[in-house]
Structure 1
């Protein structure tokens, strides 16, 4: 069945969604299973001993052959060192995108009719150009790049958000961005104002706050286990804190559980305690959200809503502080980690089947002093224009997707190694 593909490569995880053609319409986008047990794949690349580039967390590694920080460095002239080999950040991102395309091609049994890849709203043209170039070098020559805030708005619109002006709040694992979006006369969305972002704030800060609290509470027990025992016990602490964070979005209490040589140790945490730990971080993101609104000289009364994306936006404190600062509807989807990817798939549908431009309102005929005189020829009449109407997106020639040729760093799934 013909399909289009949306991809979101985040600072922590990568997600993808497809929408399939059904007659003259498209189905609702569905998440693609990028790993065996999740639609999310860590945005991690590892250089194997055989020279291949593997996707996902490695089983064992000293850190020198693994990279997690290449996404926000796209366009940086300083290369990423991977196993001592310099790699351009945009090349690594393109390799990850190519891996997603190959996996979806295998699952769907054919090539996508269109691909949309999201990117941070604050990117300048140079960053988009270098990523486009890196994608083209791998054979992905017909990929449309759209700001993540636009794809988030497209996803919310597909679920029923009918507003024309909104502000997007996207909280990733290690990044945050906020930007205003508005609906264009074509029914699509565009950003305006000045996007705000931070590459050092995200859901990982929430996990670390819980981890620091747990280390403090268990300091005596950890000291009693010795250095090696403490290191072994703390190895899975961040993953355990991520689990507790998710539990506290629905429950009022949860336990951080660590396995010590003497047995399991539990650190009870209430939602109120957790929220006190993360309140300064969340407040900093809300301050940036307000700055994005003020950048266009808007007030809350000018907004139709706040559109959320990112797994950590499910934390109740996030919606509480946003609601207090902006008394407008706050929209969050059931799986906010997939919002940007599903919105990218919705935008890809429009690449193949653009929405028709609404007809211009009819103009009243100008009064004529002498009814017997001829009217102005149609070709000389002033043309109706819509103030602020942006130029349409450039036409996209839909061609069969050329899958990337095997590169010097051939991609392989970290969890599905052969041999």
Structure 2
């Protein structure tokens, strides 16, 4: 069945979604299983001894043959070292994108009719150009690049968001970005104003806050435990804290559990304690969200909502602080880690089957000016113009989506892909 593909390569995880052609329409995008038991694959590349690249976290590695968090480095002239070999960030990103395309090709039995890949909203043309060139080097010559904030808005619109002007809040594992979006005359979305972002803030900070609390609580016990056993226990601490973070999105208490040589240790944590740990970090992201709104000289009353994306946006404190700063509806999807990818698939549908432009309204005859010539209205802005607009269109009603906890992944897949050249 013909299909289109949307890809979101985040700082921590990569997701993909497909929409299939059904007659003259497209089905709702579905997430692609990139892992065994999971729709997410770590945005990690590992160079094996035979020279092939594997996607996903390696079982054992000294760090010199593994690279991660390379997407935000695209455009940087300083290459990354992988197994002693210099690699540009855009080449590594294109390698991961090609792996996703190959995997989906195998699952679907053929190539996609269109591919849309999301990127940070603050990218300028140079970064998009170098990534385009890198993708072409892997045979991906017709990939459409769209700001992540646009694909997030497309996903929310497909689920019922009917607003015209919104601000997107995207919190990744190791990055944050916020930007204003608005509907175009074709019904798609574009960014405007000045996007705000930080590559040093993300959901991983929440995990580390919990891990620091656990280490402090067990400091005396860890000091008297055999060094080898302590190191083995602490290696799994971050993953355990990520689990506890997810539990605390729906429960008021949870236990951080570590297996020490002396036996299992449990550190009780309440949601109130956890929120106190992460409040400064969340507040910093909300301050950037407000700055994005102010960059276009808008007031909260001119927004139809705040659209969330990223796994850690399920933390209740995020919605609480956003709602306090911007008294407008806040929308989060059931699995917010897939929002950008599903929105990219929706945008890919429009690449193949563009929405018809609505008919132009009937206007009174234009007044004659100059030497008998009618005045000509200014042309419409292109789809991704980033200039500051005038007053937004009237606000339609907005629907808030329910918050659900997705099933956690169980296994980690490392599938190899032969290196080019």
What is the SS of the residue equivalent to 2:362? coil
Paired residues of 1:54 and 1:414 also in contact (CA < 8 A): no
**Counterparts of 1:366 and 1:36, CA distance in 2:** 63
TM-score for the superposition, normalised by structure 2: 0.89
Paired residues of 2:12 and 2:174 also in contact (CA < 8 A): yes
- CA offset at residue 363 of structure 1? 1.6
Structure 2: state its 5+ residue gaps: 385-411
**Counterparts of 1:190 and 1:319, CA distance in 2:** 24
- CA offset at residue 392 of structure 1? 5.2
Q: 1:391 corresponds to which residue?
A: 382
Q: Report whether the alignment pairs 1:415 with 2:414.
A: yes
What is the SS of the residue equivalent to 1:259? strand
Extract structure 1 runs of 4+ deviating beyond 2 A.
364-368, 380-386, 413-418
- CA offset at residue 122 of structure 1? 0.3
Q: What root-mean-square deviation, in Å, do the aligned CA atoms of Structure 1 and Structure 2 show? A: 1.9
1:387-409 CA-to-partner distances (Å, cap 9, x unmatched) read xx32358xxxxxxxxxxxxxxxx
What is the SS of the residue equivalent to 1:240? helix
- CA offset at residue 305 of structure 1? 0.3
* Structure number, greater radius of gyration: 1
- CA offset at residue 414 of structure 1? 5.4
TM-score for the superposition, normalised by structure 1: 0.90
What is the SS of the residue equivalent to 1:169? strand
Q: 1:295 corresponds to which residue?
A: 295
CA spacing shift, 1:196–1:157, aligned 2, 3 Å: same
- CA offset at residue 415 of structure 1? 2.9
1:20-47 CA-to-partner distances (Å, cap 9, x unmatched) read 0001100000000001110000000000
- CA offset at residue 221 of structure 1? 1.1
User: What are the equivalent positions in structure 2 for 1:118-157 lying under 5 Å apart?
Assistant: 118-157=118-157
**Counterparts of 1:155 and 1:43, CA distance in 2:** 22
**Counterparts of 2:253 and 2:171, CA distance in 1:** 23
Paired residues of 2:184 and 2:383 also in contact (CA < 8 A): no
**Counterparts of 2:10 and 2:307, CA distance in 1:** 17
What is the SS of the residue equivalent to 2:254? strand
Q: 1:408 corresponds to which residue?
A: none
CA spacing shift, 1:63–1:367, aligned 2, 3 Å: closer
Paired residues of 2:366 and 2:375 also in contact (CA < 8 A): no
- CA offset at residue 417 of structure 1? 5.9
Paired residues of 1:17 and 1:345 also in contact (CA < 8 A): yes
Q: 1:196 corresponds to which residue?
A: 196
Q: 2:158 corresponds to which residue?
A: 158
Q: 1:55 corresponds to which residue?
A: 55
**Counterparts of 1:169 and 1:259, CA distance in 2:** 37
Q: 1:18 corresponds to which residue?
A: 18
